[in-house]
């Protein structure tokens, strides 16, 4: 029997990719940029498996282009908002993702963004580079304290919990959160409290977003939400850029409706170089690097590869999205 045809939309860690190269008739899209939609529609033809990145749109048109033999879309990420999972299920195409592997790396990054924004590290660094460091400044570069403040977690899943744990355990913060359901583990271990969205906006000194992007969370943080936040609040988003309304966020940061922001995700991604979000002194932006550590990316590669090969061999996926 010929080896199943697989298309991999970007090179990913060798611990996973090498197995696909050995076991399947695998084509890997070369280079640092994703394939265009046109190329993608062409490349998926006749494939039994697709190894995808979060920027690849997987919808009915693409499944049609691939053909009936497509068995699995294995995403090298936990978020699957780029995939029409319902459409895939209707067609019997399994969808896999990589939850768990990136929890700590992403929570670390969320905390890094919080402390970077709070201590104004980017402004300070740029001012040094501009030759402005003349003396110790008794009144200069004043930032925010973190200890004992209130952190509002939007989405108390794995990553939200890991961020809350850092904030409560290390910095003695009070934890409040919004979530679809109560989270007894967070309530017991972190003395966390589930509150309404409006209460979270009003009471949080810092807000960190850890929910997935869906119809409910799309543009959840808009001018209305920023209006209800404390004027010195810090907004952190390491989940998906679509959860904040970016022009509204820019306005909120420029007009002092909120104090600062730390973003690992933007909308669109990447933003145009001229996008104001990249040029505000009170906003630190990272290029979606929450999971970018060696151990994490290797683990994600292992899971994504197992998911794809399992599906091709008619076995259960390690992590299936339904
Ligand atoms: C994910 O997995 O969804 C992250 O955003 C990227 O690793």
How do residues 138-173 score in pLDDT, each as one tens digit?
A: 999 999 999 999 999 999 999 999 999 999 999 999
Q: Which atom of ligand 1 is nearest the CA belonging to 97?
A: 2
What's the burial of 199, exposed, middle or buried (CB within 10 Å: 0-12/13-18/19+)?
middle
Instruction: Give the Å distance between the CA of 66 and the centre of ligand 1.
Output: 25
| pLDDT tens string 88-115 | 999 999 999 999 999 999 999 999 999 9
Fold of 103-285: Rossmann fold (3.40.50)
Taking CA atoms only, the protein residue closest to ligand 1 atom 4 is 77
Q: How far apart are the first and last CA of the chain?
A: 30
The pLDDT of residue 62 is: 98
| pLDDT, the chain, mean | 98
Instruction: Give the Å distance between the CA of 240 and the centre of ligand 1.
Output: 9
The pLDDT of residue 25 is: 98
CATH class of 5-101+295-312: alpha beta
pTM for this prediction = 0.97
Question: Catalytic residue among 244, 288, 297, 318, which?
Answer: 288
Q: Which atom of ligand 1 is nearest the CA belonging to 79?
A: 3
Instruction: Give the Å distance between the CA of 319 and the centre of ligand 1.
Output: 14
Taking CA atoms only, the protein residue closest to ligand 1 atom 6 is 77
Where b means 16+ CB within 10 Å and e means fewer, 122-145 reads bbbeeeeeeeeeeeeeeeeeebbe
| Cβ < 6 A, ligand 1 pocket | 54, 77-79, 102, 290-291
Q: Which atom of ligand 1 is nearest the CA belonging to 291?
A: 7
Question: How would residue 1 be classed by pLDDT, with cut points 50, 70 and 90?
Answer: confident
Long-range contacts of 256-259 (CB under 8 A, 24+ apart): 256/231, 257/223, 257/226, 257/227, 257/229, 257/231, 258/226, 258/229, 258/230, 258/231, 258/232, 258/233, 258/234, 259/144, 259/230, 259/231, 259/232, 259/233, 259/234
Q: Which atom of ligand 1 is nearest the CA belonging to 77?
A: 2
CATH 3.40.50.720 placement within the chain: 5-101+295-312, 103-285
Taking CA atoms only, the protein residue closest to ligand 1 atom 3 is 79
Q: Ligand 1: which of 291, 297, 298 to mutate, most ligand atoms within 8 Å of CB?
A: 291
Q: Ligand 1: which of 53, 54, 304 to mutate, most ligand atoms within 8 Å of CB?
A: 54
Question: How would residue 116 be classed by pLDDT, with cut points 50, 70 and 90?
Answer: very high
The pLDDT of residue 221 is: 98
């Amino acid at each position: 029997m010929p080896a199943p045809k697989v298309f991999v939309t970007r090179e990913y860690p060798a611990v996973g990719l090498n197995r696909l190269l050995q076991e399947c008739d695998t084509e890997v899209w070369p280079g640092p940029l994703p394939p265009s939609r046109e190329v993608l529609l062409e490349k998926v033809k006749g494939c039994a498996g697709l190894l995808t990145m979060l920027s690849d749109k997987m919808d009915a048109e693409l499944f049609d282009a691939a053909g009936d033999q497509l068995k699995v879309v294995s995403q090298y990420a936990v978020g699957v908002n780029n995939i029409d999972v319902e459409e895939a299920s209707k067609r019997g195409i399994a969808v896999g993702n990589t939850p768990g592997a990136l929890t700590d790396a992403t929570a670390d990054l969320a905390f890094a963004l919080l402390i970077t924004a709070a201590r104004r590290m980017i402004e300070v660094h740029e001012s040094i580079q501009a030759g402005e460091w003349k003396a110790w400044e008794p009144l200069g570069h004043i930032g925010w304290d973190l200890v004992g403040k209130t952190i509002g977690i939007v989405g108390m899943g794995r990553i939200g919990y890991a961020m809350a744990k850092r904030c409560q355990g290390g910095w003695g913060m009070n934890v409040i959160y919004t979530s679809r359901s109560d989270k007894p583990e967070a309530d017991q271990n972190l003395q966390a409290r589930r509150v309404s969205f409006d209460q979270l906006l009003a009471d949080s000194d810092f807000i960190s977003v850890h929910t997935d992007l869906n119809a409910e969370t799309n543009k959840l943080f808009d001018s209305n939400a920023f209006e209800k936040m404390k004027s010195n609040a810090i907004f952190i988003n390491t989940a998906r850029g679509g959860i904040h309304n970016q022009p509204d966020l820019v306005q909120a940061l420029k007009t002092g409706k909120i104090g600062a922001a730390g973003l690992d995700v933007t909308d669109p991604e990447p933003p145009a170089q001229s996008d104001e979000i990249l040029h505000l002194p009170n906003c630190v932006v990272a290029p979606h690097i929450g999971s970018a550590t060696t151990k994490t990316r290797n683990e994600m590669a292992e899971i994504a590869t197992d998911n794809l090969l399992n599906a091709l061999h008619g076995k259960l996926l390690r992590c299936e999205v339904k």
